[in-house]
A and B are shown apart, each in its own frame.
Chain A
Amino acid sequence: MQIVEDLMSRNVKTLDRNDRLTLAEDLMQASRIRHLPVVNDRGRLVGILSQRDLFHSALVRALGFGTNAKDKMLSGIPVKNVMHDQVVTTTPDTPVADAARLMMEHKVGCLPVLRGEELVGILTEGDFVAAAANAAPGQSEAAPVPGAQDIP
């Protein structure tokens, strides 16, 4: 049985609550990711920010969509004002099917992975594609991932 640790990405990019939204957008574009966990100064998870939060916020609708207007808006607002602080999380030894159910139930595209209070990884929709495709770019040293035909 596969567990979360087998699929998750380990090098997690994070934000500080006081980072500006422009940094969040740059990180998402450069890394082609849609979610960034937010941590406090002790590295503890305090929130999550998604691409949807940036582009579909009421603010964007109110200010318009042009590049200048958007940059002005994003550079003026700290992450903590927009992030979600109720975060659905999982643990490294949770069965993958349970994590998948959690993502479906809560309609979330990713789950930060916590060991105790420590953020040790992130499980995204793309990690499920990677597992099915026998590729595993999100992980390096972990056990080989069985092919899709082995999915129970």
Chain B
Amino acid sequence: MTKLRVADLMTNDPVAVAPSATLQTARDLMDQHGIRHLPVVDEDGAVVGLVSQRDLMERALAPTDDLTLSAQHDVMRTARVDAIMTAEVEVVAPDSDVVTAGQMMLENKYGCLPVVDGDRMTGILTEADFVRYLSEPR
């Protein structure tokens, strides 16, 4: 049996956010789509970062403690995603084998890996993709 490739499991055309988007936009996208991670993609489709729910809580909102609630909301509506994103992101290629990608996720405790073909993001590999793959009859 041939080896499974990342492309066999990954989510195609994932929800992404621009570096210039506001934190509120990132949060709304996560809520709407029920996801915990957003790849940050520039206008050429290149991955420039990753922002997680936890980044929003810990990097963006926790330091706003002394602010009033409405001032916190202003931060959400004005601060940019690239101010809090993780800029050094591990990525995989669509033809990487799933065993290697899974090991990368486990060893580094990554919840997801953007999938990059050449310079462009073509998908994202998340823990949930492994569940979905096994749930599909074949």
Which stretch, B12-20, B80-88, B114-122, B125-133, touches the partner chain A? Answer: B125-133
Q: Which of B4, B61, B68 contacts A149 (CB 8 A)?
A: B4
Q: Once the chains bind, are B102 and A133 in contact (CB under 8 Å)?
A: yes
Bound: A55/B27 CA distance, A: 12
Q: Does A142 contact B (CB under 8 A)?
A: no
Task: Flag if A65 contacts B134 (CB, 8 Å).
Answer: no
Question: Which residues of chain A are within 8 angstroms of B66 by Cβ–Cβ distance?
Answer: 66
Q: In the bound complex, what is the Cα–Cα distance between A97 and B102 (angstroms)?
A: 18
CB distance from A109 to the nearest CB of B (A): 8
Q: Which of B8-41 contact A (CB under 8 A)?
A: 31, 34
- Quick one: which of A31-79 are within 8 Å of B by CB? 32, 55-56, 63-70
**Which of A10-18, A83-91, A100-108 is the contact stretch?**
A100-108
Range, interface on chain B: 35 or more
- A63 nearest in chain B by CB position: B69
Is A82 an interface residue when CB atoms closer than 8 A count as contact? no
Name the prevailing secondary structure of the B interface residues.
Answer: helix
Q: Is the CB of B62 within 8 A of A65?
A: yes
Chain B residues near A63 (CB-CB < 8 A): 69
Asked if A97 and B64 sit within 8 Å, CB to CB, the answer is no
Min distance, Cβ A24 to any Cβ of chain B, angstroms: 15
8 Å CB contact of A104 from B31, B127, B131: B131
Chain B, Cβ-Cβ closest to A152:
B138
| A143, CB-defined interface residue at 8 Å | no
- Chain B positions 94 through 108: 1 when the CB is less than 8 Å from some CB of chain A, otherwise 0: 000111011101100
Q: Write out the residue numbers on chain A whose beta carbons fall within 8 Å of the beta carbon of B101.
A: 133
Tell me, yes or no, whether B44 is within 8 Å of chain A by CB.
no
The contact sample of 21 A-B pairs, CB cut-off 8 A, is A63-B69, A64-B69, A66-B62, A67-B65, A97-B135, A103-B135, A104-B135, A109-B128, A126-B106, A128-B127, A129-B105, A129-B127, A129-B130, A132-B4, A135-B103, A147-B99, A148-B3, A148-B97, A148-B102, A149-B1, A149-B3
